[in-house]
Amino acid sequence: MPARSSIPTTGCRRCGTCCSKGGPALHFEDLPLVQSGVLSTRDLCTYRVGEPMHDQIRGEVRLLQKECLKIRPIVGESACIFYEPRKSSCRLYVHRALECRALKCWDTAELENALRQPRLSRRDLIEEQCALDELILEHEARCGCPRLLEWLDLGTAQARMALQEARSFDSALRAVLVERDLLDPEELDFLLGRPLDVVIQGLLRWRKLCSTGSR
């Protein structure tokens, strides 16, 4: 996040830098966007407890203490799915999320306040003790990020086997949910978070940053 005094501009130049770096996290104030259908679970991606994420306030990569929902990026890119680079515009502009409304790169005070507001989680969008909720709990029990990191740290043959079993379970579960038409493929990253291979790569990068002291 740029320092408040580093950019003399007093208005948005529509450079697209913020949008190209990824979509916003959603807060309770954004819940009506989902309830009204402006956003669907196909538009969202869950970052689970224990995943590394850049802390914009502290300016470092930290492991999430609470899960958060973000508007997902374009496949294979980092840009928000609603960003149109050729027009340097947002398809969701009128209904943009709290963080997007608060973002002013020339003065970050409003965004800093927004970032401190309570974030949405998966269970805010689905009923507790329903089939999907039970599926989330089972997936977390077998593929939770703290356990993944523990196995990576141990590095033993048994830990490597446990890690592989978790990867296989995650991959098979995603395939079954789609093959049986139980879930739209674009809803997988909302319900189960990002694929385990992606999460593991992120954890490995985080460990490397920690070892070099460059978080």
86 and 148 in a single domain? The answer is: no
> Last residue of some domain: 123, 158, 174?
123
Label residue 175 by pLDDT band (50, 70, 90): very high
- ∠ CA 26-110-83 to the nearest 5 degrees? 50
Number of domains in the chain: 2
Q: Which token pair is 65?
A: 């203490």
98 and 30 in a single domain? The answer is: yes
Cα(72)–Cα(46) distance, rounded to whole angstroms? 9
92 and 165 in a single domain? The answer is: no
| Average pLDDT value for residue range 168-173 | 97
Question: Among residues 49, 42, 103, 99, which one has the least CA distance to residue 75?
Answer: 42
Q: Give 78 or 31, the one with higher predicted confidence.
A: 31
> Last residue of some domain: 67, 88, 123?
123
> Last residue of some domain: 123, 147, 162?
123
82 and 133 in a single domain? The answer is: no
DSSP helix/strand/coil, 211: helix
Task: Please determine, for residue 54, whether its predicted confidence score (pLDDT) is greater than 70.
Answer: yes
Which whole-number Å values give the CA distances from 124 to 27, 107, 115, 119, in the listed order? 10, 31, 18, 10
Q: Domain residues for 201?
A: 125-212
Q: pLDDT tens for residues 104-160?
A: 888 889 999 999 999 999 999 998 778 999 999 999 999 999 999 999 999 999 999
